[in-house]
Amino acid sequence: MTSRVLITEQLAPRGLDALRAAGFEVDDRLGLSPEELREAVVGAAALVIRSATQVDADVLEAGRDLVVVGRAGIGLDNVDVDAATKRGVMVVNAPQSNVLSAAEHTVALVLAQARNIPKADADLRSGSWNRTRWEGVELHGKTLGIIGLGRVGVLVAQRALAFGMKLLAYDPYVSAERARQLGIGLVGDLEELVREADFLTLHIPKTADTVGLIGRELLAHAKPTLRIVNTSRGGIVDEAALADAVREGRIAGAALDVFATEPTTESPLFDLDSVVVTPHLGASTVEAQDKAGVTIAEQVVLALRGEFVPYAVNVAATEANATVQPFLPLAERLGRLFTALAGGSVETLEVSYEGEIADYDCRVLTLSVLKGALSAVTDEPVSFVNAPQLADARGITVRESTSSAALDYVNLVTLRGRAGDRDVHVAGTLFGKLARPRIVGINDHVVDLPPSSHMLVVRNSDTPGMIGKVGSILGDAGVNIADMDVGKNPEGEAALMALSTYSAVPDAVVNQLRATDGVLDAHALELD
């Protein structure tokens, strides 16, 4: 019987032809409602989508015969990867299909903004010849500030060099040596980058930490020649704050391809002459769509034939040894925790496995660690497949070690590295018959609490009353503590508090904690 591949969004003809040539039945059904999708997916071996189709747990439940879900593009926000993994359904994407198009669109917006091309075009078409009104600026000699040196950020940098621009970047997870190789100067913080930049372009993921990143406070550091370009994710730029800054002449202009709400035809930016906008066209080129269609077709064919799939997002999770597999979520959470605590680039990440799991192949756990460690710092989805390449691109050397002895634990996973002049350490294990994950070490202090979405780590002097001070500050701010442990360092001193909270700890509360007598440092951590 021929396997059926359900296509729910427009796919490049070459992709459809490749599926048919491989001998599969192509069921091309566009514009399905959620109810129609659940009906259509019954009996399908593969489901191919783009960005509009929502593949949730209900769709996966209905598609009991699904072997693979293919996303013809990069993002996976519309696919419940965890639910797919639990059902043994492979998820694949086309991670390199649109990076060139996105970089070129960024450069196009920089040029369009600098030379007022859209407004000049509109004026001339309406019968007005306004050479002086739309006078622009050259790119040569100007400073381009780049937030995020992932694949797209690097491609933009390379193209900007051809215009003779000076390149500065903020990416605390890229080593200085890697930036030097690219001809880019690294700055220590966003405020410095905004102060120096004539053009500022964003290439970062949308996370709890980056939503509203370009807001009133940051824009206050800008010089009046600054022009901001965003082709990464909507919501990273506070559109109202940006509109006010442009309207009041505090910055020169902006160009946006993405918005907090999409699709949209309303924004305070749309009425401003010095703002250029496009309707999320970063990946909308013939070449990008063709590459995405062909790539995803190739991945689906390989998956249905049972062969190696290079762009599988979750294949390692579905194939992990039964003893090792329960540690995968813990490993990913430890990776996220490590990055949050490091707060910057590390040259070497040492991952050690101690106890019974050391007798098994733990490489998949290291991939899970990298997946967690990199997911919040790169502008593309991180998978078990591409994690090593992304780590290498950021100059991170990964070392793995094993030992059958785990001292105080049956099994222990430990991460170590050095960020600047600080050593960073986290450790975790699984506890009890239900194998519940526990964090048991933070920066060489012994702790014991479950990982959670929202965490707070406070380093303090070993003096009475510190727990009360921290608890009072959180309570006054309405932050409810879910769990807490006081950590001891090797000398036995209680000098670290690790807390799980029911909600995110606001920056203002973290700053209040840091200003409290006896508190040496405080970090709010978001692990999801």
Catalytic residues: 233, 262, 280
- Scored b (16 or more CB within 10 A) or e, 115-130 reads bbbbbbeeeeeeeeee
Nearest residue to 366 (alpha-carbon basis) of 408, 342, 407, 397 = 397
Backbone phi and psi for residue 306, each to the nearest 5 degrees, phi listed first: 75, 25
**Residue where the block lists tokens 């605590």:** 341
432 Rama class: left (phi>0) / alpha (psi -120 to 50) / beta: left
Q: 244: which strand partners? A: none
Cite the DSSP H helix spans in 93-222. Answer: 99-114, 117-125, 151-161, 176-181, 190-196, 216-219
DSSP helix/strand/coil, 80: coil
* Contacts of 85 by beta carbon, 8 Å cutoff, 6+ apart: 91, 314, 317, 318
CB 152 within 8 A of CB 99: yes
What span, in angstroms and rounded, lies between the C-alpha atoms of 513 and 501? Answer: 15
**Residue where the block lists tokens 């920089």:** 110
Backbone phi and psi for residue 394, each to the nearest 5 degrees, phi listed first: -95, 10
What are the helix and strand counts (H, E) for the chain? 18, 22
Structure tokens at 144: 């381009």
Neighbouring CB atoms inside 10 A of 34's CB total 11
Neighbouring CB atoms inside 10 A of 383's CB total 25
Classify residue 499 by its DSSP letter: E
Element (H, E) at 189: none
**Residue where the block lists tokens 């940051």:** 218
Q: 4: which strand partners? A: 25
Backbone phi and psi for residue 75, each to the nearest 5 degrees, phi listed first: -65, 150
Nearest residue to 443 (alpha-carbon basis) of 460, 463, 423 = 423
Structure tokens at 210: 């980056």
Torsion 441-443-445-451 (CA) sign: negative
Neighbouring CB atoms inside 10 A of 427's CB total 22
What span, in angstroms and rounded, lies between the C-alpha atoms of 10 and 32? Answer: 12
CB 487 within 8 A of CB 446: yes
